[in-house]
Structure 1
Amino acid sequence: MSNETYRRFDPWRTSPLKEESRKQIVKSHYFNVDQVSLSSPQAGTFERYVLQGNNGDAVGVLAMTDDGLIPLVEQYRIPTHRWTLEIPGGHAAEQGEKPLDIAVRKLREEAGYTADHLVQFARFIDTPSFSAQHTALFFATGLHPADRSDFGPETPRPDVRLYTLDQAYEMAVNGTIVDAKTLIAILRLHSAPDHQLDQ
């Protein structure tokens, strides 16, 4: 590879495609789906389907107890017909609910904790090949037990398991944990010196 073709990465450089039209074909509480017509000199006209998050970012909460344990929630996931271990997370319950408010609510509802400190430490695009949905990750410390809520019909009352960071990291690298937000959060925490995600 020649250094002569090297350029700095620019995520906002000019698009190689022209958007010709866009039509919403699905609308739901969590997401909408747009049918988009695009064109380029090389490919001509073609169509794609784009998932748009409805009501803002999804949220994940990586929490740590004072004795260094991370609560992970057992969830049954219908699309994959399997159980997962996940950090608490979810979407806005109503339009205008801010990511920090979602984080507070989900930590309480799913894991059964409130937190003295919550700070956002990452934000990522879930599946950029077909979705514009982002997830914001929060780190929660100063935890206090709180009443949990009942869940929906998929997992009415999921179990919460507590793991050390080393245990969670081992499950992340050996394939036990497969949920993307949980993998990103645990790997990020494992790489952070002294668990300082808020600096």
Structure 2
Amino acid sequence: MRPPDRITGSAAGVAAAADAHLVETKLRGEEILRGNFLQACRDTVRLPDGSQATREYVVHPGAVMIIAQLDDGRLVLERQYRYPVQRVMLEFPAGKLDPGEASLACAQRELLEETGYTAGQWARAGVLHPVISYSTEFIDIWFARDLTLGERKLDAGEFLDVLTATPAELLACCRDGQVTDAKTLTGALWLQNVLSGAWVLDWKSTTR
């Protein structure tokens, strides 16, 4: 039996050719459903051993999440009812990209619309894929600081509460299961490492 491969710090730089034995190749596809902004597809693929299988997945336009921190260190959070899981969720502000919209522009728009805050400085942390088994969705992670509070501009049919919490309070909510939202858990990981100095952000000033 082949021993498992060992992941090292240089794993991210491995050439794509090294993954050829894992790649599935699309043979044909069909659209199952087209909604207002989501599309469901079913593809037939060739597996690495030559056999065939079907893959059903949701096509998503992509989104952003904002980790916004006030001058006193408190974080801007939201409570919002999420219909698919039938419960109110505690989460970082976030929203989907409009067609042709740049990631930073989306982050700035969503932070203002949902919370009323604008930020004088922004830093892109990275990207996360919340449901890799059945969706193309990606979420760009943005940090924001130098905040100024103004008027919220919620979309029609959008209802949410805005609140603040210290990083310690947020992490306690993650530990205790009050936060189960994948993007917010990932954001908490980023936050913890940024605050400790382990991960460094490249901050850029923006015009308000």
TM-score range, shorter chain: 0.7 to 0.9
Q: SS where residue 178 of structure 1 aligns?
A: coil
Aligned pair in 2 of structure 1 residues 43, 83: CA closer, same or farther (>3 Å)?
Answer: farther
1:51 aligns with one of 46, 52, 58: 58
Identity of aligned residues (%): 26
Aligned-residue offset at 1:195: 8.9
What is the alpha-carbon distance in structure 1 between the residues aligned to residue 48 and residue 154 of structure 2?
53
Q: Which residue of 1 aligns with 2:112?
A: 108
What 5-or-longer segments of structure 1 have no aligned partner? none
Output the aligned Cα RMSD: 2.4
Equivalent positions of 1:44-193 (< 5 A) are 44-54=51-61, 57-92=62-97, 94-153=98-157, 155-156=158-159, 158-192=160-194, 193=196
Distance 1:77 1:6 in 2: 39
Q: Is residue 25 from structure 1 mapped to residue 28 from structure 2 by the alignment? A: no
How much has 1:152 moved relative to structure 2? Answer: 4.2
TM-score scaled by length of structure 1: 0.86
Query: Secondary structure at the residue paired with 1:139?
Result: strand
Amino acid at match of 1:98: A
The residue type paired with residue 108 of structure 2 is V
Rounded Cα–Cα distance in structure 1 between residues aligned with 2:151 and 2:128: 30
Corresponding residue to 1:198 among 196, 201, 208 = 201
Partner letter of residue 171 of structure 1? C
Mind listing any 5+ residue stretches in structure 2 that lack a counterpart? 203-208
Per-residue CA distance 1:146-193 (angstroms, 9 max, x = gap): 11023443x53x211110111011111111111111111112211222
Task: Tell me how far apart the structure 1 counterparts of residues 150 and 99 of structure 2 sit (CA, whole Å).
Answer: 25
Deviation (angstroms), 1:43:
7.7
Shift in CA distance, 196/145, structure 1 to aligned 2, threshold 3 Å:
farther
TM-score, with structure 2 as normaliser: 0.83
